[in-house]
Amino acid sequence: MADLSTVARIRVEVLAGLTVSLALVPEAVAFAFVAGVDPLVGLYAAFIVGLVTSVSGGRPGMISGATGALAVVMVVLVKEHGVEYLFLTVILMGIIQMAVGALKQGRLIRMVPYPVMLGFVNGLAIVIFLAQLESFKFEGPNGHEQWLSGSALFTMLGLIAVTMAVIYLIPKVTSKFPSALAGILVVSGVVIFGGIETTTVGDLSSISGSFPTFSVPDVPLNLETLWIILPHAFILAAIGLIESLLTVSLIDGITETKGQNNRECISQGAANIITGFFGGMGGCAMIGQSMINMKSGARWRLSGALAAVLLLVYILVASSLIEQIPIAALVGVMFVVVIGTFSWSSLRIIRKVPVSDAFVMMLVSAVTVATDLAIAVIVGVIVSALVFAWNTARSIYVEESIDSTDNRKVYTLHGQLFFASITAFRDLFHPPHDPQEVVIDFQHSRVWDHSGIEAIVDLARRYQAADRELHLLHLSENCQRILSKANVIIDSDPEVDPSYRVTVSGLGGSDGGH
């Protein structure tokens, strides 16, 4: 007999799964339309990807399914080559994702700086909000989309307001029932029993269908097909993993636990391989539904698995009931998700953080809205890396000391020597004005790349041209080895000069030994 805490936890997971399953339906249908495929293709993806990743993924409580970030990439492929090519692309996408996980490259998400994370969260909140605005449109008599107006608009806004009010008030009354589910049920009851005319799930498309069946994509399996699908597969794999791993990081922060990135990569890949063979459009983590699940109190794998199973139940036997749910109720739930997802604290700290971090946050948010998540994150990481390189390059300097007895000058170098700092490094030294013997101590510095090596070689040439003797102290073994291969150094004789490990001699001549 399970103890009370376990029973309570199961109840929370079941109710959270029910809430998420209802929110998955319109999203899956809408993203299928975006990709240019039948709504059932989106629903099958939500069921299969959601079930596989919930059971085997690296982040309990995270919800996966068909997403808009992937759909906008798929639409070109479907339009030019057909849905069967999409299925094969999704399979290849899954293979790539599994390879990333097997090679343990999920840790690369650590390279995403915190300002990029904030920008991603804020941008995604805006994208979710903008996606809901599609529910305020309808197809006019001329076949063109028009915005709701008049009584239809006020009805829609009123129902959304009621949904949001219920979601915010329910926790003040009880914490034993998911507020999002309560909002959906209350507004659905008002619409159904009150005879209110408004757009419902059934108005988007029928979700009635059969159990997905296994089939090999009906496309020629040759090199021509591979070259068609390969670019799309890589892009989809990258977008799917970036969105999934960033969502893992987000939920890690909420739950104060640690997800398994490589396991999530493998799970996402396996899910996409399976869904490709069963007629699904593929998918990845869904931050909106994941936030609904978290806010409903779910922490186990049960809620996500149940949400996926319920989605299949809706398709097979309960489509007529689900199709009666008003879109306004689901939009209200997503509006609450938007408010909870957006990092409002970032607005308060934006004047307190470095200008570069504030710029990166706003840039990533803007690019997320304008293009897609993968491009936004890549842009954010590149800009952050360039800012870091610039700031690091400015921190290189030397401490100088003169040994008048030996007519020797010692430069103690501080900072990092790499491509961005070589100009500043060059300007630190003035060979014609230095004494006959010069020492550069690298104990407090590090040479990071080939540009740094070349800067040392160039400096050696400058000192040779000025007829000065240059010693390099505390260089790394790797740096010594590269310089030795370039014929610019010779090893010091420890009996004659025991304190210096490397000394620069002639360049490329007979006296430039190895």
pLDDT tens digit sequence for 198-209: 988 888 777 888
pLDDT on residue 505: 38
CB 298 within 8 A of CB 12: yes
Is residue 110 very low, low, confident or very high in pLDDT (cuts 50, 70, 90)? confident
* Pairing state between β 408-417 and 397-403: antiparallel
Phi, psi dihedral angles at 345 (to 5 degrees): -65, -25
Give the pair of three-digit tokens for residue 271. Answer: 């899910």
| HSE (side-chain half, CA atoms, 13 Å) at 365 | 20
Q: What digits encode the pLDDT tens for the residues 317-370? A: 888 888 888 989 888 887 887 887 788 888 888 888 888 899 999 999 898 888
∠ CA(29), CA(32), CA(34), 5° rounding? Answer: 115
Written as one letter, the residue type at 387 is V
pLDDT of residue 154: 94
Residue type, 277: F
Of 105-114, 159-168, 251-260, the least confident? 105-114
pLDDT for residue 90:
95
For 480-505, what is each residue's pLDDT tens digit?
776 666 555 555 544 444 333 345 43
Q: What is the pLDDT of residue 174?
A: 77
Averaged pLDDT of the chain: 84
Among residues 234, 451, 199, the alpha carbon closest in space to that of 327 is found at 199
Highest mean pLDDT among 77-86, 92-101, 250-259, 499-508: 92-101
pLDDT value at 2 more than 80: no
Query: b vs e for 401-411, b when ≥16 Cβ sit within 10 Å of the residue's Cβ?
Result: eeeeeeebbbb
Q: Is pLDDT above 80 for 190?
A: yes
* Residue 49 binned pLDDT confidence (cut-offs 50, 70, 90): very high
Q: Which residue has the higher pLDDT, 4 or 404?
A: 404
The tens digit of pLDDT for each residue in 15-24 reads 999 988 888 8
The answer to whether 423 and 389 are in contact (CB under 8 A) is no
**What is the token pair recorded at 61?**
């409580």
Instruction: Please state which of the four CATH numbers 3.30.428.10, 3.30.750.24, 3.30.700.30, 3.40.50.300 is assigned to the domain occupying 397-504.
Output: 3.30.750.24
Q: How many angstroms from the chain centroid is the CA of residue 512?
A: 50
Name residue 140's amino acid. Answer: G
pLDDT of amino acid 488: 54
Q: How far is CA 255 from CA 31, 141, 200, 300, 446, in A?
A: 29, 49, 34, 11, 39
274 conformational bin, left if phi > 0, alpha if psi -120 to 50, beta if neither? alpha
Question: What is the pLDDT, as a whole number, of residue 483?
Answer: 67
Domain extent listing, the chain: 4-138+150-385, 397-504
| Residue 489 DSSP code | E
pLDDT at residue 33 tops 90: no
Residue 250 has pLDDT above 60, yes or no: yes
pTM for the whole structure: 0.71
Average pLDDT, integer, range 26-54: 86
Give pLDDT, residue 482.
Answer: 67
Contacts of 346 (CB under 8 A, 6+ apart): 118, 122, 361
Strand 284-285 to 502-504 pairing: unpaired
Give residue-wise pLDDT tens across range 283-308: 999 888 888 888 888 888 999 999 99
